[in-house]
Amino acid sequence: MSDMNTSTFITLEEMEAATDALLETAKKVGADTWQQRAKNQTPHCKFGEEGICCRICTMGPCRITPKAPRGICGCDRDGIVARNYLRFTAGGAATHSDHGRNITHVLYLSKEGGDYQVKDPEKLIRIAKEWDVETEGRDIYDIAHEVAEIGLMEYGKPFGTQRFLKRAPEVRQKVWHDAGIEPRAIDREVSQSMHMTHMGCSSLPEALVRQSLRAGMSDGWGGSMMGTEMSDVLFGTPKPVDTNANLGVMEKDMVNIIVHGHDPSLSEMVVFYSQDPEMVALAKEMGAKGINVAGVCCTANEVAMRHGIPMAGNFLQQENVVLTGACEAIVVDVQCIFPALGPLSKCFHTKFITTSPIAQMPDSDYLEFNEATAGANARKIVETAVRNFKNRKPELVNIPNLKTNATVGYSVEAIKKCLDGVTNSHVDEVGTTKPLIDCIKSGVLRGAVALVGCNNPRVRHDYSHIELMKKMIANDIICIVSGCSAQAAAKAGLLSKEAKNLCGEGLKRVCELVDIPPILHMGSCVDISRMMILASDIAKDWNVDICDVPVIGCAPEYMSEKAVSIGNYVVATGIDTFLGIDPYTKGGPQVVKLLQGDIKDWVGANFTVELDMEKMGDMMIERIEEKRKALNI
Ligand code: XCC
Ligand code: SF4
């Protein structure tokens, strides 16, 4: 349907040339961009960068210097760094978990014939059984409402720990218990983190780092997992689906609606109404050929993997979609939305439509989206975008000629199904990860890397994601990806099956046999919980602990508090994690020693912070080989 052809691979240089052309448009219309603002903000504050500025009480702000080694209350640099680190983590855990709560609440509102329905009853029943909810002879919506209510209770229950922890291998559950990091109620861990970091509470680095792991766990094995599971129940568990990526997915002759943010309860509805015959007819009336929806950030992952909706770009491209001059509306819900979109959209005909009471911004059109009136709200949003087509300024339209093919949607269920396809001779092996384990044991695959997280103007946009992925697959290490990292891969063509040609011989063979790309798209950032389940299932099928499996995690370009929360639960789950950006801890040597060293004694894994990507890639391969050696394979 597009007049634009797809390319197998797109280089970073080609993407950068396209961005440069869009920045020319920005200059022409007098728009401000992150490239300029990042320059204006450099050099950054040294105290902030090292994490040694404290402003949690009004005796401060206190900054640590050789002359002033303690804050006014007497807190030292490690105490300040560790408190800041815990607050950073709690911010991320709160954000993911609140997203999960919202989805669970939407499940509670679901009903037969309603805006929201149960699309995957099988998964719902699986969760119901896991939670001892009666399923026999009951209406599916009765089950849904009971499961949703129990899910919501996980946020505030007065006793016990998170239900999903039971999904991990028993050895891992014991590690969590012994380390004292089993998360209790989700909200409690966030709330307690705020309490612990109040003036005059904890300043002992061990205690603060331990709570950081626990708060992270309340996200990964609590709120994020809730988000993923309930989204699957409501909108369907992802299966492999073909789509397109990069800015060329925007259509010159169509109404372009960009969905951006995180919560699929909005984007699902926008996608639905963009296909409504009345809306399509209205688009034609306005002179467009139809309606094209494309995504940015995690929302892009959500709708790509469930509907094949194309992915326009990742975090640092959100301004680019407006700069194409062909964006009728950028519709956002929560998280990772630049407030810059307000003033930027004013330089074009674009409508910047905010929808959530918890993400309100200046210079936007606020069309509140409420789950109880979802259909009517989404219809209004789509109609607003469609009617805006006639205001487009043709002289400002520049859609870069960049478009790739991508196969997305590898949920754990889908991965197992692909693996079943190659082992249908062993009926008893169906639904397991054993074929994958066999490949790792035999050395055909060396191991797996989870590449995740954001973009960050501190480093060259997408460079680390793309280069690390290429390096991993060339070394027969399979990648699983999510979030903006997944989109970096998609934009470069690395989520296409042709990417097998960039692999080592072993991985290439696996890709051909199983008919998968070497880099598997597992979804949005809450879907890193899927990766935790996959790692757990592999460990169980292998009969080892998760920290023994040659699997590591990496967030080379992250920026968000959520990413740090993720890092905490990934490490706590037993997976060594490599960060390409320092989480503001440099100023606290004891905190660095804990995070990058000693927590290995608690949970069997820790962090590595490395800013040089060449070195980081080598270290990651080395770590995988070390784990293989320890397993005698
Ligand atoms: Fe946001 Fe989730 Fe980061 Fe991308 S990867 S910039 S958090 S959209 Ni989650
Ligand atoms: Fe300063 Fe202590 Fe107050 Fe922080 S808590 S601002 S270090 S006095």
> At residue 1, does pLDDT exceed 50?
no
**Sequence-distant contacts of 66-73: CB under 8 A, at least 24 apart:** 73/199, 73/200
* 297 close to ligand 1 (CB < 6 Angstrom): yes
- Same-domain status, 386 and 344: yes
* CB of 338 closer than 6 angstroms to any ligand 1 atom: no
Ligand 2 mean position, distance from CA 54 (Å): 6
Residue with token string 């034609």: 284
CA 296 – ligand 1 centroid, Å: 10
Atom of ligand 2 nearest to the CA of 54: 4
* Nearest ligand atom owner, CA of 83: 2
Determine the distance separating the centroid of ligand 2 and the alpha carbon of 441, expressed in angstroms.
52
Per the CB < 8 A criterion, the answer to whether 564 and 88 are in contact is yes
The pLDDT of residue 5 is 86
Nearest to 495 by CA among 372, 378, 406, 420: 406
Instruction: State percent of the chain over pLDDT 70.
Output: 98
Q: Which residue matches tokens 């920045």?
A: 23
Q: Do 383 and 298 lie in a common domain?
A: yes
Instruction: State if residue 454 touches ligand 1 by the CB under 6 angstroms criterion.
Output: yes
Residues 111-128: tens digit of each pLDDT: 999 999 999 999 999 999
What is the rounded average pLDDT of the residues 194-212?
98
What own/partner pairs with CB < 8 Å and gap ≥ 24 does 153-156 have?
154/185, 154/186, 154/222, 154/226, 155/97, 155/101, 155/185, 155/186, 155/187, 155/223, 156/185, 156/186, 156/187, 156/188
CA distance 101 to 150: 11
Residue 351 three-state SS: strand
42 within some domain: no
pLDDT 10s digits, 368-421: 999 999 999 999 999 999 999 999 999 999 999 999 999 999 999 999 999 988
Name which of 632, 413, 456 is nearest 559 in CA terms: 456
Q: At what angle do helices 483-492 and 463-474 cross, to 10 degrees?
A: 70
375 and 416 part of one domain? no
Question: How large is the average pLDDT for residues 141-160?
Answer: 98
Ligand closest in space to the Cα of 315: 1
Beta bridge partners of 521: 481
Does the C-beta of 336 come closer than 6 Å to ligand 1? Answer: yes
Ligand having the closest approach to the CA of 77: 2
31, part of any domain: no
What pLDDT shows up at residue 427?
A: 58
User: Which of ligand 1's atoms lies nearest the C-alpha of 453?
Assistant: 5
Same domain, yes or no: 285 and 220: no
- What is the Cα gyration radius of the chain? 24
What is the distance between the terminal CA atoms of the chain, rounded to a whole angstrom?
49
Q: Which listed ligand is nearest to 54 at the C-alpha?
A: 2
Select from 350, 370, 396 the last residue of a domain.
396
Q: Are residues 453 and 588 in the same domain?
A: yes
363 contacts 352 by C-beta, under 8 angstroms:
yes
- Ligand 2 pocket member 54 (CB < 6 A): yes
In angstroms, what is the span from residue 133 Cα to ligand 1's centroid? 34
> Which residue from 525, 599, 527, 530 is spatially nearest to 562, judged by alpha carbons?
525
The answer to whether the CB of 315 is under 6 A from ligand 1 is: yes
If one residue of 53, 57, 76 were mutated to test the ligand 2 pocket, choosing by the most ligand atoms within 8 A of its CB, it would be: 57
**Relative to the alpha carbon of 484, which ligand is closest?**
1
Task: Tell me, yes or no, whether 88 lies in a domain.
Answer: yes
For residue 187, the CA-to-ligand 2 centroid distance in Å is 25
Structure tokens at 147: 């499961």
Among 356, 374, 396, which residue terminates a domain?
396
Cα–ligand 2 centroid distance for 75 (angstroms): 7
Residue nearest to atom 3 of ligand 2 (CA): 57
Q: What share of the chain is helix, strand, coil (3-state, %, to 5)?
A: 55, 10, 35
Q: Is 483's C-beta closer than 6 angstroms to any atom of ligand 1?
A: yes
pTM as predicted: 0.97
Distances (CA, A) of 254 to 184, 258, 286, 317, 587: 49, 12, 10, 20, 52
The answer for residues whose C-beta is within 8 angstroms of residue 103's C-beta and 6 or more apart is 226, 227, 230, 231, 234, 263, 264, 265
- Which tokens go with 431? 């639904």
The answer to whether position 341 is within a domain reads yes
* Separation of CA 314 and ligand 1 centre (Å): 8
633 lines ligand 2 (CB under 6 A): no
- Domain-located, residue 539: yes
**Where in the sequence is the domain holding 474, given as residue range(s)?**
405-630
- Same domain for 508 and 624: yes
Q: What CATH code is carried by the domain that includes residue 221?
A: 1.20.1270.30
**Residue range 616-630: average pLDDT?**
98
3-state secondary structure of 406: strand
For the segment 555-614, what is each residue's pLDDT rounded down to a tens digit? 999 999 999 999 999 999 999 999 999 999 999 999 999 999 999 999 999 999 999 999
